[in-house]
Structure 1
């Protein structure tokens, strides 16, 4: 069954929110970083979508700022790391204190990704989750068919930021290498900017042609 992917820009910080949906009107939101995201909500309403999961790639403010709205509107099951759970509830860890927002929230309906390769079957598609630490220790990535959603681990045309708290350059390199060697990967969706092909990512991050 075909999946559709639509990208929305988060505010006040430019980051990506992704909406994945199918012809059966079932949907997944990834990284809702906007409170009261009118464009996203209107699209969900117009397409009559049921949001069943909300995936958090990592716990930074610009990727979780809209999580409370998403939960209150659609009551999806959230999928994230245990570290992200702690980040979302802590204004320093999620960096919101530095944006003057001081955002914190306690998620109750969730699945914590505790092991690599954790898989959920969603309407005939496997959602595969991996710990991809490096940008922070809270990062996970999600593979769906030939696509992988990696948050800020890989951003097209930019080196991975590892200087924020709990970042680690060596871990980032290992995580990037692992994602680029997953079987069947074709398109990589980062937490900011446009998606990139696997070949583009290998060339940029590892100088491979």
Structure 2
């Protein structure tokens, strides 16, 4: 298994490239702001051919480069229907102040080929099987993608902004809801094996076991106020 990642743009959003091995087909997860140059370098280095772009949620820091990447490679974008409208109007997922700061005449459009994700779906792409878990709370259409364990690697979860090392996604933007994200964490994260590798939308990788032991938002007694991490 080959997983390469890099932080993209001013938001430092982790973009991942996932393939069975070098020289094979691959999928791209969350190509954010200014991701194209670094992404092209990763693809050249490992001789990879993209077959799809997967979007964990519709916030602009995760979908900024989706349309240009899909257009240049003629591949589809996969996103949950609850967040699909953010592909063409990402301002809907932001506060008014943030919209005013970010959009100086910028316009966004959907890729030509958009396909919708559903909870529990198994995507068979690039010779891999990725399980989709709908995990709302950060946005209504937030999802995670899971790869099954093999003899060589443990389970892997691309968590988007659901779960970070030591924190979770913020819930104070349009579409966010703190009780809902807690339910998503309980339903989608806590049942996973401790050795599950978590590759989040921001910051370093972690494991479910580490977060189960140390992350206050996975504790049985939930805090009264939501955190403030992520866009």
Both proteins in one fold, TM over 0.5? yes
1:106 is matched with which residue? 110
Separation in 1 of the partners of 2:205 and 2:108? 29
Separation in 1 of the partners of 2:83 and 2:112? 13
How many aligned residue pairs are there? Answer: 205
2:17 is matched with which residue? 19
Which is higher, the Rg of structure 1 or of structure 2?
2
Contact residue 192 and residue 208 of structure 2 kept, 8 A: no
Q: 1:121 pairs with 124, 129, 137, which one?
A: 124
1:1-209 equivalent positions in 2, closer than 5 A: 3-23=1-21, 24-35=23-34, 37-95=36-94, 97-101=99-103, 102-113=106-117, 115-145=118-148, 146-184=155-193, 186-203=196-213, 204=215, 205-207=217-219
Separation in 1 of the partners of 2:69 and 2:20? 19
Contact residue 51 and residue 125 of structure 2 kept, 8 A: no
RMSD: 2.0
Which range moved further: 97-106 or 37-46? 97-106
2:224 is matched with which residue? none
| TM-score, with length taken from structure 1 | 0.89
Unaligned runs of 5+ in 2: 149-154, 221-231
Per-residue displacement from partner, 1:50-76 (whole Å, max 9, x unpaired)? 101110001011001111221122122
| TM-score, with length taken from structure 2 | 0.81
Change (3 A) 1:91 1:129: closer
Unaligned runs of 5+ in 1: none
SS of alignment partner, residue 164 of structure 2:
coil
Which range moved further: 94-103 or 57-66? 94-103
Contact residue 24 and residue 48 of structure 2 kept, 8 A: yes
Contact residue 90 and residue 104 of structure 1 kept, 8 A: yes
Query: Structure 1 residue 100: deviation in Å?
Result: 2.3
